[in-house]
Chain A
Amino acid sequence: MTERVATTLGLYPLPDWAKDELSDLKGHQKSDLVDGSEGPEVREAYGRVREELIDDQRAAGLDRVVEGQGRWDDWLAHPLAVHDGVETGGIVRYYDNNNFYRDPRVVDDLAVDGGDVAAELDAATGLLEDDEPLQAVLPGPYTLAQLATDEYYGDESEFLAAIAEFLAGEVAAFPEHETLFLLDPSLVTEPPADDANERVSDAVDTVAAATDADVVLQSYWGAHEEKTYAHLMDADVDAFGFDFVAGDRDTHLYNVTEYGTKDAVSLGLVDGQNTAVESPDTVAERIDWVTEQIPSQTFDTVYATPNTELAYLPVSTYREKLAVLGEAVELAAGTEVSA
């Protein structure tokens, strides 16, 4: 029996009251963004944000609960932006979006600091009931390395390994969690060069080895190059996540058919960057359609997710999308995935 799990990739939009309140408390300039040393008023406001984002997931009936990452001003670069060994530089474009983050310039040993994300998850755990499984979300090591500027290690492979160790340290400090999603869009937007593919797979292993939870490595805004995917198959993760909204579905299916995939799979089926709201029926059909295209495999778990983070959306639409995921998985539940 395949378990279908409705969940998200985290990074939610701030509630509208929090957009106003936090911009008044923090300011609008790049030096005003979260750096890990927020004062009590700001922390308290983010506490209320966290509560609301968790309530949103409850209302939608999601099967995993994320912290929501309201504090992640710098998108997936956040874990470095708050690190003591990192100086944040100018504003740079976040992939091909009209969104920006501060360039994290790594100027010191990454092993000297950590725990920012663990503290968020501790706070989230305090808000959850026993039967509400926590899902942690981090950038994948390759993506985080791509988003950053290395001014300390001076060697690409050493830098990637240091980022992986840093992320593994974060994960080791996490409270109990059911699932860990590693978001790795750069794997498809800027695929590793030939000889780097093996190192990337090793870096993913380093992070995944730090937890007993199920680990999902999810990429988006495209499909993997064949070589990258072939190497990733060596990584010890429980599932790969594929973007079936912006990525080419035939390429995904080709990769999976040629190289296989893990015993679980994550499907980005709801558009995280468009206010058009999918119907739960359509999403339920897509879950079945994709799994039917992979007849060689019966999955233990199928995660149904948006294809991207959700902070691109207005709050009203984000909530509707959560509800669609919850309903779609309920609709699809009970129908065995055909082997």
Chain B
Amino acid sequence: MARDAANREQFRPDDHEHDHFLLTSVVGSYPKPTWLNRADDLVDDPEASFDEADLEEAHDDACRLITEEHERTGLDTVVDGEMRRNEMVEFFAERIDGYEFNGPVKVWGHNYFHKPSVVEEVEYDEPWLVDEFEFTDAVAERPVKVPITGPYTLANWAFDEHYGDSEALAYDLADLVNEEIEKLVEAGARYIQIDEPALATTPDDHAIVGSCLERIVDGVPDEVRVGVHVCYGDYSRIYPELNEFPVDEVDLELCNDDYQQIDTLADGEFAPDLALGVVDVHDAEVESVEEIKQNIEQGLKVVPPEKLTVSPDCGLKLLPRDAAYRKTENLVTAAREVEAELDAGEIDVPVRGTPTADD
């Protein structure tokens, strides 16, 4: 069962101008400034005087820069653009006991990642993200969302040398994610996003992801908003099953194939809030405000406005930085214009016309 998502109101800015409130957010990653990439290389160069402390300062600078860039776009909730993270699995595997690295492997073309191997039982060592959150939270005026790679993805995008059963590994990892969220909540975090792109490769495992999420939210207070992000998959294979996920919000990439899959979700019974991808992250051409408004209206086929969050399809890191900025800015402008039109009763909400099982 989806959680009670009434916690979205805490993200409504005090000066919000409309009665309607479409929560605007991002999935997480953002293009790194070129000087940060140079800094990442420099710290590995034995000839250079640039050391780990310098790199940490560079990361701080980048996090501040991107958090403020997010705020300038007008987003209701912000992220630091994952400036400290190298890759979504590597970053966590480096922090969890039980993983080791054997070298890069191919994803496609000349894109590689250091796919880790699980060689013994995974254990929690030191906090993964608390420092990152505290820094960003101190910089930001808006609430900060914390993306965490989900246990199913951490299990499946690694070589399993120890468990011989990726389900058992995923559940152990889910317990560690739960422990991390507890620490993040203590530090003040109120918006957590679990990233599970691996579910798209093996959609028949939705029940395992559901069981992982049960473990993840165990003991997490209701006022903490918990979402799950899935992308580039055939959603008919995980819907309506995802209605059982114990989360407040499900974030889906849908813009990339021009909402061909929206009807799959538009049965009037979508249970969690929907965070709808409204800009394409694999196309540098910036969508106009008008185009994004039409995309947002696609979401109203699935959920009413009070359950709709507006977000890019996925992380923006592969885009040129100015395109990432302008897409985000247009996304916010479009959301505010749709809110005004909803206030004025100028927009239909198709999902309200859909009979539900209770009717």
Q: Say whether A96 contacts B115, CB under 8 Å.
A: no
Rounded to whole angstroms, the CA-CA distance of A312 and B102 in the bound complex is 12
Q: What is the minimal beta-carbon distance from A198 to any residue of chain B, in angstroms?
A: 30
Interface string of B146-188 (1 = CB under 8 A from A): 0000000000110111000000000000000000000000000
Q: Say whether A275 contacts B161, CB under 8 Å.
A: yes
Q: What is the minimal beta-carbon distance from B107 to any residue of chain A, in angstroms?
A: 6
Q: Say whether A275 contacts B107, CB under 8 Å.
A: no
Q: Say whether A19 contacts B108, CB under 8 Å.
A: no
Q: Say whether A16 contacts B110, CB under 8 Å.
A: no
Rounded to whole angstroms, the CA-CA distance of A264 and B339 in the bound complex is 70
**Known pairs A97-B201, A98-B198, A314-B105 / 7 extra A-B pairs, C-beta < 8 Å:** A16-B104, A98-B107, A98-B156, A99-B108, A101-B108, A275-B117, A315-B103
- Which of B105, B111, B159, B198 meets A13, CB within 8 Å? B105
B38 neighbours in A (Cβ, 8 Å): none
Number of A interface residues in the complex (CB < 8 A): 34
B202 neighbours in A (Cβ, 8 Å): 96
CB proximity to B under 8 Å, residues A1-32 = 13-14, 16, 19, 22-23, 26-30, 32
Any B CB within 8 A of the CB of A317: yes
A304 neighbours in B (Cβ, 8 Å): none
Contacts known (A93-B201, A274-B161); A314 close to B108, Cβ less than 8 A: no
Contacts known (A99-B106, A317-B102); A275 close to B159, Cβ less than 8 A: yes
10 contacts across the A-B interface (CB closer than 8 A): A13-B105, A14-B106, A19-B110, A28-B111, A98-B201, A100-B108, A274-B159, A275-B117, A315-B103, A317-B103
Any B CB within 8 A of the CB of A73: yes
**Chain A interface residues toward B at CB < 8 A:** 13-14, 16, 19, 22-23, 26-30, 32-33, 73, 91, 93-94, 96-101, 273-276, 311-317
Rounded to whole angstroms, the CA-CA distance of A316 and B115 in the bound complex is 13
- Which of B102, B109, B161 meets A28, CB within 8 Å? B109
- Which of A26, A73, A100, A312 meets B105, CB within 8 Å? A312
Q: What is the minimal beta-carbon distance from A60 to any residue of chain B, in angstroms?
A: 18
A30 neighbours in B (Cβ, 8 Å): 109
Contacts known (A96-B202, A97-B201, A275-B117); A33 close to B109, Cβ less than 8 A: yes
Q: Say whether B105 contacts A313, CB under 8 Å.
A: yes
B111 neighbours in A (Cβ, 8 Å): 28
Contacts known (A93-B201, A274-B160); A32 close to B110, Cβ less than 8 A: yes
Q: What is the minimal beta-carbon distance from B62 to any residue of chain A, in angstroms?
A: 21
Category for how many chain B residues contact A: 20 to 34
A312 neighbours in B (Cβ, 8 Å): 105-106
Rounded to whole angstroms, the CA-CA distance of A101 and B106 in the bound complex is 11
Any A CB within 8 A of the CB of B112: yes
CB proximity to A under 8 Å, residues B79-117 = 102-112, 115, 117
Interface of A (DSSP majority class): loop
- Which of B103, B117, B198, B201 meets A16, CB within 8 Å? B103
Closest 7 CB pairs of A and B: A314-B103, A23-B110, A100-B108, A276-B161, A314-B102, A275-B159, A275-B117
A13 neighbours in B (Cβ, 8 Å): 105-106
Rounded to whole angstroms, the CA-CA distance of A16 and B101 in the bound complex is 14
Determine the residue in chain A with the shortest Cβ distance to B110. A23
A26 neighbours in B (Cβ, 8 Å): 110
A91 neighbours in B (Cβ, 8 Å): 108
Rounded to whole angstroms, the CA-CA distance of A32 and B109 in the bound complex is 8
Determine the residue in chain B with the shortest Cβ distance to A93. B201
Rounded to whole angstroms, the CA-CA distance of A23 and B117 in the bound complex is 24
Determine the residue in chain B with the shortest Cβ distance to A34. B109
- Which of A33, A98, A314 meets B104, CB within 8 Å? A314
- Which of B102, B104, B157 meets A19, CB within 8 Å? B104
B159 neighbours in A (Cβ, 8 Å): 273-276
A311 neighbours in B (Cβ, 8 Å): 105-106
A99 neighbours in B (Cβ, 8 Å): 106-108
Q: What is the minimal beta-carbon distance from A104 to any residue of chain B, in angstroms?
A: 14
- Which of B107, B110, B115, B160 meets A100, CB within 8 Å? B107
Rounded to whole angstroms, the CA-CA distance of A222 and B123 in the bound complex is 33
Q: What is the minimal beta-carbon distance from B126 to any residue of chain A, in angstroms?
A: 25
Q: Say whether A19 contacts B112, CB under 8 Å.
A: yes
B109 neighbours in A (Cβ, 8 Å): 28-30, 32-33, 73
Rounded to whole angstroms, the CA-CA distance of A32 and B110 in the bound complex is 9
